[in-house]
Amino acid sequence: MKGASNVGTVTDVDGKYALDVPSSAKTLVISYVGMRSEEIPVTDKHATTVLRANLALDEVVVTAMGISREKKALGYAVQDVKGDQLTQAANTNVASALQGKVSGIDIAPSSGMPGASSKMTIRGSRSFTGDNTPLYVVDGMPITSSSDIGTGNSVTGADYANRAVDIDPSDIESINILKGQAASALYGMRATNGVIVITTKSGKGARKGKPEITVNTGFSFENPSTLPKFQTEYAQGIGGKYVATDSRSWGPKIADLANDPKYGGNTDNDYTKESGRKPGQYYVVQRARAGLDPWATPQTYDNAREFFNTGVTWNNSVNVAQNMDKGSYSLSLGNTTAEGIVPSTGLLRYNAKLTAQATLNNHWTTGFSGNFATSKIKKQTGANNGIIATVYGVPASYDFKGIPNHIQGDPYTQNTYRGTGGFDGAYWAVEHNSFVERSQRFFGNAYTQYATNFGDSHKVTAKYQLGVDAYTTNYTDIWGYGHSNGRGEIEEQSVTSNELNSLLTFTWAWAINDNMNLDVLYGNEFVQTASKYKDNTGSNFNFPGWDHMSNATVYTSSGTFHRTRTVGNFASASWAYRNMLYLSATIRNDVVSSMPRNNRSFTYPSVSLGFIFTELDALKNNFLTYGKLRASYAEVGQAGTYYASYYTVPGYGGGFYNGTPLQYPIGSVMAYTPSYRIYDPNLRPQNTKSYEIGLDLSFFNDLVSLNYTYSRQNVKDQIFDVPLAASTGYQKLRTNGGSVHTNAHEITLNIAPIRRKNIHWEVGVNFTKLDNYVDELAPGVESIRLGGFVDPQVRLSKGDKFPVLYGTSFLRNKKGDIVVDENGLPMAGENKVLGDAAPDFRMGFNTTLELFKFRLSAVFDWKQGGSMYAGTAYMLDFYGVSQRSADFRNKKDFLFERPAVKQLADGSYAPNDIKIKGENAFDYFNALSRISEAGVYKSSFLKLREISLSYPVYNKPFLSVTANVFLRNVLLWSEMNNGIDPESTQGNNNMAGSFERFSLPGARSYGFGLSVKF
């Protein structure tokens, strides 16, 4: 009661309350942590009051080590996303659920397949070849989130999922992103790339009394987000002639196939001599091989669309929570079942979580959180020899789906439109090749806490937390008998990881006086990680039908075991003055077992300052209601792995041999040779120095809020391999060298233009501009290859952005003009940097409109600038299956599309005016296919990430039912405009997001859901 601090009450979980007020009372003040207070007049009847989020003043966020602090007290930038924002469009992956909703983060998904990997970085990349993913902390305990196995050069094979796939977004209460090193410094080396702090649902927010049960279900359908435009006019072949097994579609018109001199049913040839003329038909060799009637009527087939399925995803979860006087608990069960748009792909995941807290007495509390996840991911191959190469490349005249994928009576001999040396027909592949990940994981922690007060101004808290993260993932890749015209192969990999995390903290809170507060923290952390990796490969199955390691004629086996320990001691002190000035400092020392003995101890400091200048009496006003300046500095490192020396079992191969045909043991003879890599005994950890300044403003009581942050990260002492001369006896030296820096600009703008009883509209904008540059490499090293082919590739090079595309360029003269030959065709020039993969900026738009009981939400994501190698697009031109290739073929003549010059007899240059005849279009695209620069496209795009509509169908105190419909990735505008999703790329490593060649497509989704609470 306003003016009577001793008169008040609290609501129940449904917001209901009762209060006896004196007759003199006139105004009731309604408040809640993190919400704007409302003042209403006292009347006999009081309607419902809805409190809106207080964006600036009293919001509480979870920071490092699980410490909850008021957002206004922080001297660095953090951003949070609530659980309902993550699941409003039924996302099954945490990374994809964050896209477009947070500034300072770059998320590069690999495809739209269930369980596909996503590379996430915060404020750019810091390590040349190491891990750049942030640390995930779930309920106060760090867990593994990156991929166990990398995709290497990422030009063959299947994807490998990130371990973040084990997290169920439907069980997340909130995510707080600690972007800068000052925010995450207390976590030490593991947090050099930032921290994703996840708080899962607990029973604390549940109603008291009987348990509260929530059941959620969602059902969605998926289709390819985009497909190339295929021509439907020309048949298989080359030079205008039909060739039954040619991979290209530069043959005759489909309508003229019946007149083909060799295969046409209207002409005299070997086939009509045998069976008589077949008017209007033509002979199809593959139909004959499959035992079908070989004669077919020419027609066009929509082969790509016919190949892809309509994917189906079904999410279900149930949560039982109860809040009691002395504690609370929450039990969650979840299931995700997904069948992908590519046949034989899918995801089956089960999640279970139990969390509980108990207050033992006035001083002691205890609790635990345990999460179990088991999953099975079925995958298919992307990249150069993946299935898309034989889906998109199919001639429009070929019945890809209707003609059996194997010859009659032999399911292991492929039958498709082209030769399968190095490739598999897509339908044969999804039937015979299998790529499966199976994982079981448990992570969680238990804690006990003691807190006591000393007088009215001192509070001391001691807390001990013990956590574990243990999982085993088995990877089985099978290329069936008949793969690539061979006898198949199998690879079985397994990763077992066990991490123990012991955390002890002491905090002291001292209210010095009414104007000053001091909070001090000391902690000790012990982390031990043991990981085991096994790799068994087998090739050349003895006989078909049993694709098993025991059936292989040649097999090899290898394994590694690693154990590392880190002991960290850390401390922090935070001083606050008059709710206006906040000063914090931290320091942490890590001792790491994976570094050289004389270089294992490292100390990192941080300091931050926040100044709320609107607390000054002279600046208090109703226009600028909140204003804060903040600044921070921090250092943090990233440890490497050091081995004094070790030996390996050699294998020898080369020439025309596949694999390593000479391997030890040979009979009873074993051999060992020194490893090809040696380690610098003075290896140091990578070091990051971070500077950050920012400004937070709020106008008209949070009607408009604006946050700006500038940060710079200087990273030196990169750890990577430096090539060595062969005379040393080694190939590489693992050492320190090189540096990289990032300038980051982040803007967050939130506007609530309408705040009415039945209408509430909010708009949010997240802007990010990251400039990530490579400053130095090691002496003698000009570039580092991250992946791709020899040409083209993704690499790092001194003075360029991180990363760049590199390969064969167009031939240019000294002025930089592209030069064409005497036929008007472009020519190959030097190998050089072809473009920056990083965008100029990214911007996310979020909006929510509440109209009476309806709630409409949408997320747009805009990426501006940057380039990617889209090999699929220009290879489809080369194959002649793209609509673009047919358009050029149908022209009378055309010029090379880019501004160019021709060379005159005297050596001078003139603008290109040499026209290429339409009948020579193949020569044009053939020339382009040999120049990597022709496959580099600008990759700007705008996507409608999500749109969802929800409505409370039934809402009573004992039962509430809410229905919703949603769409994901349904609209795409792409600067490439070639039918390739700019986010369908290859690699789960540092090359991700910039390279594709027959990558698996993205997916768009549409579905509905239901939430029942009682």
pLDDT value for 197: 94
Q: Model confidence at 4, in pLDDT bands (50, 70, 90)?
A: low
* Contact between residue 659 and residue 539 where contact means Cβ atoms under 8 Å apart: yes
Q: Kindly report, residue by residue over 107-139, the tens digit of the pLDDT.
A: 999 999 999 999 999 999 999 998 999 999 999
How large is the average pLDDT for residues 41-53? 55
Q: Is residue 179 included in any domain, yes or no?
A: yes
* Contact between residue 945 and residue 968 where contact means Cβ atoms under 8 Å apart: yes
Q: Is residue 665 included in any domain, yes or no?
A: no
Strands (E) across 837-935 are located at 841-851, 854-864, 867-870, 893-894, 900-903, 909-911, 916-917
Q: What percent of the chain has pLDDT over 90?
A: 80
pLDDT higher at 810 or 671: 810
Q: Model confidence at 66, in pLDDT bands (50, 70, 90)?
A: confident
Q: Over 50: is that where the pLDDT of 53 sits? A: no
Which of these, 827, 828, 824, 813, lies nearest to 895 by C-alpha position?
824
Which of these, 478, 485, 480, lies nearest to 418 by C-alpha position?
485
Q: Are residues 856 and 950 in the same domain?
A: yes
Which of these, 377, 543, 535, 520, lies nearest to 461 by C-alpha position?
520
Q: Over 90: is that where the pLDDT of 21 sits? A: no
Round to whole Å and give the CA distance between 507 and 505. Answer: 7
Which of these, 688, 634, 603, 590, lies nearest to 124 by C-alpha position?
688
| Mean pLDDT of the chain, nearest integer | 92
Q: Are residues 451 and 537 in the same domain?
A: yes
Structure tokens at 689: 């120095």
Cα angle vertex 366, ends 362, 368, to 5°? 160
Q: Is residue 393 included in any domain, yes or no?
A: no
Beta bridge partners of 854: 851
pLDDT value for 3: 55
Q: Over 90: is that where the pLDDT of 667 sits? A: no
C-alpha distances (whole Å) from 835 to each of 543, 792, 934 are 48, 11, 12
pLDDT value for 651: 74
Q: Are residues 477 and 516 in the same domain?
A: yes
Q: What is the DSSP string of 383-434?
A: STTSGGGGTTTS-TTS-TTTS-SEETTEEEEE-SSS--TT---HHHHHHH-E
pLDDT value for 54: 46
pLDDT value for 656: 45
Q: Over 80: is that where the pLDDT of 994 sits? A: yes
Provide, for the chain, the percentages of residues in helix, strand and coil under a 3-state DSSP scheme, each rounded to the nearest 5: 10, 50, 40
CATH number at residue 338: 2.40.170.20
Q: Over 90: is that where the pLDDT of 653 sits? A: no
Q: Are residues 521 and 597 in the same domain?
A: yes
End-of-domain residue from the set 307, 339, 361? 307
Q: Over 60: is that where the pLDDT of 35 sits? A: no
Q: Is residue 894 included in any domain, yes or no?
A: no
How large is the average pLDDT for residues 307-328? 94
Q: Are residues 28 and 80 in the same domain?
A: no
Q: Kindly report, residue by residue over 593-616, the tens digit of the pLDDT.
A: 999 998 999 999 999 999 999 999
Round to whole Å and give the CA distance between 92 and 280. Answer: 51
End-of-domain residue from the set 282, 307, 332? 307
The β-bridge relationship of strands 893-894 and 793-797 is unpaired
* Contact between residue 49 and residue 40 where contact means Cβ atoms under 8 Å apart: yes
Scanning 856-971, the segments in alpha helix (DSSP H) are 871-879, 883-890, 921-929
How large is the average pLDDT for residues 364-391? 94
Count Cα neighbours of 329 within 13 Å in the Cβ-side half-sphere: 10
Cα angle vertex 866, ends 860, 872, to 5°? 90
Q: Are residues 33 and 180 in the same domain?
A: no
Residues composing the chain: 1014
Which of these, 832, 1014, 828, lies nearest to 213 by C-alpha position?
1014
Cis geometry, peptide bond prior to residue 665 (ω within 30 degrees of 0): yes
Q: What is the DSSP string of 307-349?
A: HS--EEEEEEEEEEEEEETTEEEEEEEEEEEEE-SSTT-EEEE
Count Cα neighbours of 160 within 13 Å in the Cβ-side half-sphere: 23
Burial letters 849-874, b for 16+ CB under 10 A, else e: bbeeeebebbbbbbbbebbbbbbbbb
Q: Are residues 442 and 519 in the same domain?
A: yes
pLDDT value for 205: 79
End-of-domain residue from the set 280, 307, 334? 307
Most confident range, picked from 157-171, 772-786, 878-892: 878-892
Q: Is residue 149 included in any domain, yes or no?
A: yes
Q: Model confidence at 34, in pLDDT bands (50, 70, 90)?
A: very low
Three-state DSSP class for residue 830? strand
C-alpha distances (whole Å) from 18 to each of 9, 44, 342 are 7, 12, 58
Q: Over 50: is that where the pLDDT of 56 sits? A: no
Q: Model confidence at 45, in pLDDT bands (50, 70, 90)?
A: low
H or E element that contains 285: helix 285-289
Q: Are residues 203 and 324 in the same domain?
A: yes
Which of these, 711, 690, 838, 706, lies nearest to 766 by C-alpha position?
706
Q: Over 60: is that where the pLDDT of 583 sits? A: yes
Q: Are residues 163 and 256 in the same domain?
A: no
pLDDT value for 385: 84
pLDDT value for 611: 96
761: left (phi over 0), alpha (psi -120 to 50) or beta: beta
Q: Kindly report, residue by residue over 759-776, the tens digit of the pLDDT.
A: 999 999 999 999 999 999
Cα torsion angle, 281, 282, 288, 289, sign: negative
pLDDT higher at 45 or 110: 110
Q: Minimum mean pLDDT among 279-283, 747-751, 757-761, 804-808: which range?
A: 757-761
Q: Are residues 46 and 158 in the same domain?
A: no
The β-bridge relationship of strands 135-138 and 68-70 is unpaired
Structure tokens at 604: 């990192």
Round to whole Å and give the CA distance between 684 and 719. Answer: 8
* Contact between residue 251 and residue 240 where contact means Cβ atoms under 8 Å apart: yes
* Contact between residue 468 and residue 500 where contact means Cβ atoms under 8 Å apart: yes
Q: Kindly report, residue by residue over 934-969, the tens digit of the pLDDT.
A: 999 999 999 999 999 999 999 988 899 999 999 999
Round to whole Å and give the CA distance between 533 and 441. Answer: 16
* Contact between residue 604 and residue 593 where contact means Cβ atoms under 8 Å apart: no
* Contact between residue 717 and residue 686 where contact means Cβ atoms under 8 Å apart: yes
Q: Over 80: is that where the pLDDT of 1 sits? A: no
Q: Kindly report, residue by residue over 668-724, the tens digit of the pLDDT.
A: 888 888 888 999 999 999 999 999 999 999 999 889 999 999 999 999 999 999 999
Q: Give me the domain span that covers residue 317.
A: 62-68+72-225+310-381+433-642+680-803+838-866+939-1013
The β-bridge relationship of strands 732-736 and 172-178 is unpaired
* Contact between residue 8 and residue 1 where contact means Cβ atoms under 8 Å apart: yes
- Long-range CB pairs of 958-961, under 8 A, 24+ apart, other chains included: 958/1014, 959/1012, 959/1013, 959/1014, 960/1012, 960/1013, 960/1014, 961/1010, 961/1011, 961/1012, 961/1013
Three-state DSSP class for residue 886? helix
Q: Over 80: is that where the pLDDT of 58 sits? A: no
pLDDT higher at 693 or 34: 693
Q: Over 50: is that where the pLDDT of 413 sits? A: yes
pLDDT higher at 687 or 383: 687
Q: Model confidence at 10, in pLDDT bands (50, 70, 90)?
A: low
pLDDT value for 33: 45
How large is the average pLDDT for residues 44-62? 56
Three-state DSSP class for residue 182? helix
Q: Are residues 599 and 740 in the same domain?
A: yes
Round to whole Å and give the CA distance between 745 and 749. Answer: 13
pLDDT higher at 610 or 21: 610
pLDDT value for 38: 63
Q: Are residues 167 and 197 in the same domain?
A: yes
How large is the average pLDDT for residues 221-227? 96
Q: Is residue 606 included in any domain, yes or no?
A: yes
Round to whole Å and give the CA distance between 870 and 608. Answer: 44
Total domains in the fold of the chain: 3
Round to whole Å and give the CA distance between 648 and 660. Answer: 15
In this prediction the pTM is: 0.91
Which of these, 505, 506, 509, 507, lies nearest to 517 by C-alpha position?
509
Residue with tokens 């930038």: 77
Q: Kindly report, residue by residue over 874-920, the tens digit of the pLDDT.
A: 999 999 999 999 999 999 999 999 999 999 999 999 999 999 999 99
Q: Is residue 36 included in any domain, yes or no?
A: yes
257: left (phi over 0), alpha (psi -120 to 50) or beta: alpha
* Contact between residue 872 and residue 980 where contact means Cβ atoms under 8 Å apart: yes
Q: What is the DSSP string of 10-71?
A: ---TTS-------TT--EEEE--TTB--EEEE--SS----PPPB-SSSS-EEE-GGG-EEEG
Q: Is residue 613 included in any domain, yes or no?
A: yes
Q: Which amino acid is at 447?
A: Y
Round to whole Å and give the CA distance between 421 and 23. Answer: 92
